Structure 1
């Protein structure tokens, strides 16, 4: 049952995509449950122009489910902390000069689980406000979608710079919004991604500074000793690894990354 709830929560993570196209989507209210039926997902209906209702068959629901699952990677990149974490970890590997260590799989897994840690309050709130009431039949589908999407929008806007938000508000030919609740997803998402990229590159620059100093010192020493044929990278790599280990770099970096989303 818990795995089913997490699958349903993953589907509702795509609710901003639905809100983006909300004016073009037909309403999909939930049908009342039959007496004696077990708890589950309410049956979705499609309202046609004549005012009638038509139930979705199981095959169409499965097809819609598989289609929605293909958008999960885009949601992970555009609406969570994954982008910042992955970029900073990639900068760290380049600054150390270890090339493929840690491997891409390790960085990807670390970024994913750190993203789940950072996003857990948002996921819990989305489940409490949108998923659970929908499963209990307290909210219809069109009511549950914005309820589950609201925590993600607030998270994105909390991490978005005012300059980036104003830029995309101007590009969308919109007036300044009175509150965060008034900002649509079509403006919040690109502004959030732009801010995340800028923040990630700033953190990457700060990561490069101590390792760059070590490279410069090693290169200067080798030139002064006349050892110009020796690659500075070979000599500086052990010193950079030693520095990173002595300062407990992984704990410091991951703690800083996670804490940067709560400040």
Structure 2
């Protein structure tokens, strides 16, 4: 089953003088009981943080949080003593586990664009941990590049405590990638820019696709495109 959700259906959180954020799932002041998660995918927030703005220190627990930096940079600090700057093309992973507090600030004068992805972990009461990596989001074309995964056989990427994999793709016009999946898995796609054709469905900027019970997704660019694809266990599976 393929469910296409247009960009106009995203929830635009009340803007502040430093933040504009779109929620794809119930989050913060957005509460839609039928849209709380997709398998273990609990949140996907498309946010722009203005210069000199940022998220103050906030407590987190029992969640895997992956942040992709699409433009600009963020300074990360947490109660474990981690401190670092995550720049365009980088990704970070926070295992909140038994509890941690963290802050993310844009110390520059220019906006920072991020995707923040929350996944329910496959195991409770994990020790908190943090990792960041230059995953070169914009450096490879025409293939699905794994960025973060719970599959230890995949190397040189962020490890997440979830039976899931986050891919990034820069797809040139008229090029095609195929993603093999299984009926016991589900697939989430979110388009950053451009236009793609997925198993008969047209997707444009900020559209999302939630796919279940498929064997193959064939993704063809009808314009140069960039998108995230997340491979997830089904809602019935143990995460």
With the shorter chain as reference, the TM-score category is under 0.3
- TM-score (normalizing by structure 2): 0.24
Higher Rg: 1
Q: Whose relative contact order is higher, 1 or 2, with alpha carbons under 8 Å and at least 6 apart? A: 1
* Structure with greater helix share of residues: 1
